[in-house]
Structure 1
Amino acid sequence: MQSLASPGELTVAVVMADVAIVLVVGYVFGRWLRRMGQPVVIGEIIAGIALGPSLLGLLPGNPTAVIFPAEARPYLSAISQVGLLLFMFLIGWEFDRRVVARRKALTLSVSLCSIALSFGLGVGLAALLYADHATVAGRRVPFTVFALFLGAAMSITAFPVLARILKDRKLLHTEVGVLALGSAAIDDILAWCILALVAAIAAAGDGTDLVQIAVLSAAYVAVMSTVVRPLLTAFVRRTAALNRPAYLAIFVAAGVFLSSYATTWIGIHAIFGAFAFGFIMPRRPEAALHRQVREPFENIGLVLLPVFFIVTGLGVDIASLTAANYLELGAIILVACVGKTIGAAAPALALGLPGRDARTLGVLMNTRGLTELIVLNVGVSLHVLDKQMFTMMVIMALVTTAMAGPLLPKAPATPAADVARPEPADRAVPSR
């Protein structure tokens, strides 16, 4: 029986049905992986891949194309962006300088060594992979952009997943937990800066465009720091006391989206605007902000963010990988693991951290989670990654995140006597 709805109405209805499927399948897979000791994000990513061409699309009649038709995908992408931007705001908001300050010398050493080794190995790997993945959407990717992007992607540590793992394993108040949180925070800030540079270079048509993007980016940072931040602080201080959650949450969300629009207009991607707005967002009064802003945003993300995994999964096609691609995948996973584990464990061990704790730190710093998927989707939108590279990098993100659970030691880590309670990371953190 043919529907009597107009094509436009039918497309919107299909999108709503797709979101319902995403929520149920993501929940089932997420809870299943949770019972296996893995972060929920692993199950949600697998759900996205399973609903895409890698599994469901292989069945007769290509159910993926039927359930997620081409005309519905732009709508799904737009929905996913709302959840993604609010999540990036929470990531920026979660960054706390006090975590870094507790063991500044050791934290900086671990962070800089891990990101330097990861970035260097990523650039070296790019030199080996570039020839086979240099053309994306009919255009040749400059090697500089490809190498910088791969270096940045290898340098990521998923701060939210890391914080959740530390909380679940009761490692928040240990020496290794404090070091991991501080080092991951610095790593991600540096990696986002590199990624912003990649986005600027990729968006710039020539040297003049790059200069324009650099100037506008500097002006954006200056305005956010000197104008928006004090105004936002004053606004939050006055409105949080009114105990009107909808009022504060609506205006903060508006600020997130306007900041994202500004960075998109500049040419450095919307996620940086959301992250920057979170970074300048006041942390006090903590209880009021948790109730009036964090909880509503996390609830929205609980519904909208799984759509991001489906949009990502639709771009992952494991069946398209060749034997040569699997060799490349092995090299990608090896470089990712070596860069982070050795880059973090070696300086920690050299500076006096016990061997078991140094190894634990290396394992923790190797988790990538949703943060890596965000980076990879930026690479796709910038036409830096072809389908095979995107698929291999998504698999790498899955593997490195899933490794943490089995590799973490069962014995308790060394307690950190100088860690003041409660930890900033004890606040609710996004589970991805």
Structure 2
Amino acid sequence: MNTSEAFLIAIFIIFTLPYLLWRVCRTDYFAPLVVVQIICGIFLGPGILGAAYPSFYNVVFSMPVIQSLNGIAWWAVMIFVWIAGIELDLKAAWLNRFESGITASFALGMPLILGSIVACGLLSYPGWVGNKGQDWQFVVGVGMACAVTALPILILLLEKLNILRHPFGQRILRYASLDDIAIWIILAVILMDWHRVWSQVIFLIGYGIAAFGVRKLMRWLPPNDRWYVGLIWLALCGFISDWVGLHFMVGAFLSGVILDTDWYDQEKMDLLRHHVLLVVMPVFFLSTGLKTNWQVGSVTVFVVAGILLLASITGKLIGVYIAGKILKWRPGEASIIGWLLQTKALIMIIFTNVLLDKHIITNESFTALLLMAVASTMLTTPVVYPKLNRMKSSPIDKMR
């Protein structure tokens, strides 16, 4: 079988298997299609398919095929992160900065602390810290992975719960937006290469100057041209960011965050996100699954994933509960907000992919974090939906 044939078989499997499971098993209530695609990526990885059918796995997922899939996956996830950066509503967060700042700080800080404590425990055992990762990078990286909120997936869940356009849903998005900014800033700090620090500082200074020029250019361009120029800007930021020792995902986020949402038609942006998720992101989910590993023992990986999940959910709920007490929220609001903000999925997977690419974590750590991300996302709707229904007596649009 030649490379093109193996590639097309891989593409056929990538799109067929998740869709059939999603439709036949009707998983949408607890696992949207993107979550099913992530799970299928794990099953198609070396830990399961590769172990069960090594000859088939080695033929279909040969090195040339994997390299081709990785190229598609890189561009797909860069576009996805670019969109996430554009859709951060910094103006709304600034107008409500006191409430948003308190909530986002506690919602991020508590799971970060608990996740870091778990990571400190893992330092005592071999097989978890990457060969190029320092202890502090591993601890902060795992802690931040526990604190991440998946903003794009949160938007999909809020839409499914019919609260996306309500004031309550917009509040939750503001909190998640601030946390999203903090996540990428901390990732940039983790990735700082002190041997190349000056080139990275020069990049950030140059980025600030270039961003000013890009913003002026975007205001001048006709609306249709902004899409094309935005993608050129994305590729440039991604390349230079990777070249100076930061990851291209940091550049992808930086390229989007300086662009204003109202420069782009919202319906077209929603369509672009939908098409990226439909056409190319499944390839990223498979390439993610190909990085899973169980060499330290499947039971151990699942135990660590469970501990990380507990730290993530507990920390998020405690943090949001404290914020709710300070801000005098109505009964039940903190629980709903906490569960929605603990949604991980895509952004955490992207975050941990960066840590893995930089060898700060091992494949085993990545697998445990990936399992934690999938579980946290699958729990969200079944837990939040009944809580939301119990609050029907108090209309959502009257919530602060």
TM-score (norm 1): 0.84
Partner of 2:120: 127
**Aligned-residue RMSD, C-alpha:** 2.5
Q: Tell me the secondary structure at the aligned position of residue 123 of structure 2.
A: helix
Shift of 1:77: 0.6
Describe the superposition over 1:67-105 as per-residue Cα deviations: whole angstroms up to 9, x where unpaired.
211232111111111111110111001101243245432
**Percent sequence identity over matched residues?**
23
Paired letter, 1:388 = E
Paired letter, 1:184 = A
Alignment gaps of 5+ in structure 2: none
Residues 337 and 129 (structure 1), Cα distance of their counterparts in 2 relative to 1, 3 Å cut: same
Residues 167 and 12 (structure 1), Cα distance of their counterparts in 2 relative to 1, 3 Å cut: same
Q: Is the 8 A contact 2:69 2:283 kept in 1?
A: yes
Shift of 1:338: 1.2
Partner of 2:153: 161
Paired letter, 2:76 = G
Q: Does 1:228 align with 2:228?
A: no
Q: Is the 8 A contact 1:174 1:414 kept in 2?
A: no
Q: Is the 8 A contact 2:295 2:364 kept in 1?
A: no
Q: Does 1:212 align with 2:199?
A: yes
1:244-263 matched pairs, under 5 angstroms:
248-263=226-241
Q: 1:81 aligns with which of 74, 80, 87?
A: 74
Partner of 1:7: none
Q: Does 1:364 align with 2:337?
A: no
Paired letter, 2:310 = L
Q: Tell me the secondary structure at the aligned position of residue 104 of structure 2.
A: helix
Q: Does 1:68 align with 2:49?
A: no
Partner of 1:403: 379
Partner of 1:100: 93
Q: Does 1:177 align with 2:169?
A: yes
Partner of 2:359: 383
Partner of 1:43: 36
**Count of residue correspondences:** 394
Describe the superposition over 1:339-393 as per-residue Cα deviations: whole angstroms up to 9, x where unpaired.
1121112211332112211110110111011111101110110101112111110
Q: Matched residues in 2 for 1:217 and 1:150: separation?
A: 26
Paired letter, 1:415 = I
Residues 211 and 416 (structure 1), Cα distance of their counterparts in 2 relative to 1, 3 Å cut: farther
Q: Tell me the secondary structure at the aligned position of residue 354 of structure 1.
A: coil
Residues 265 and 115 (structure 1), Cα distance of their counterparts in 2 relative to 1, 3 Å cut: same
Q: Is the 8 A contact 1:90 1:294 kept in 2?
A: no
Q: Tell me the secondary structure at the aligned position of residue 196 of structure 2.
A: helix
Q: Is the 8 A contact 2:240 2:251 kept in 1?
A: yes
Shift of 1:136: 5.7
Q: Matched residues in 1 for 2:96 and 2:315: separation?
A: 22
Partner of 1:423: none
Q: Matched residues in 2 for 1:300 and 1:329: separation?
A: 29
Shift of 1:185: 0.6
Describe the superposition over 1:37-84 as per-residue Cα deviations: whole angstroms up to 9, x where unpaired.
432221111111121233322324453223211232111111111111
Shift of 1:217: 3.8
Q: Tell me the secondary structure at the aligned position of residue 332 of structure 2.
A: helix
Q: Matched residues in 2 for 1:22 and 1:67: separation?
A: 12
Q: Is the 8 A contact 1:173 1:415 kept in 2?
A: no
Q: Is the 8 A contact 2:43 2:289 kept in 1?
A: yes
Partner of 1:198: 190
Q: Matched residues in 2 for 1:228 and 1:114: separation?
A: 33
Shift of 1:14: 2.0
Shift of 1:261: 0.8
Partner of 1:280: 258
Residues 340 and 414 (structure 1), Cα distance of their counterparts in 2 relative to 1, 3 Å cut: farther
Q: Is the 8 A contact 1:39 1:161 kept in 2?
A: no
Q: 1:346 aligns with which of 294, 300, 322?
A: 322
Q: Is the 8 A contact 1:336 1:366 kept in 2?
A: yes
Partner of 1:142: 134
Partner of 2:244: 266
Q: Matched residues in 2 for 1:110 and 1:196: separation?
A: 23
Shift of 1:315: 1.5
Q: Is the 8 A contact 2:168 2:399 kept in 1?
A: no
Q: Matched residues in 2 for 1:105 and 1:414: separation?
A: 24
Q: Does 1:188 align with 2:180?
A: yes
Q: 2:290 aligns with which of 314, 320, 326?
A: 314
Paired letter, 2:29 = M
Describe the superposition over 1:111-152 as per-residue Cα deviations: whole angstroms up to 9, x where unpaired.
001111122222222211113246766x35311111121122
Q: Matched residues in 2 for 1:362 and 1:296: separation?
A: 29
Q: Tell me the secondary structure at the aligned position of residue 131 of structure 1.
A: coil
Alignment gaps of 5+ in structure 1: 4-9, 420-432
Q: Is the 8 A contact 1:29 1:44 kept in 2?
A: no
Partner of 1:15: 7
Q: Is the 8 A contact 2:149 2:180 kept in 1?
A: yes
Q: 1:337 aligns with which of 313, 322, 343?
A: 313
Q: Matched residues in 2 for 1:297 and 1:333: separation?
A: 28
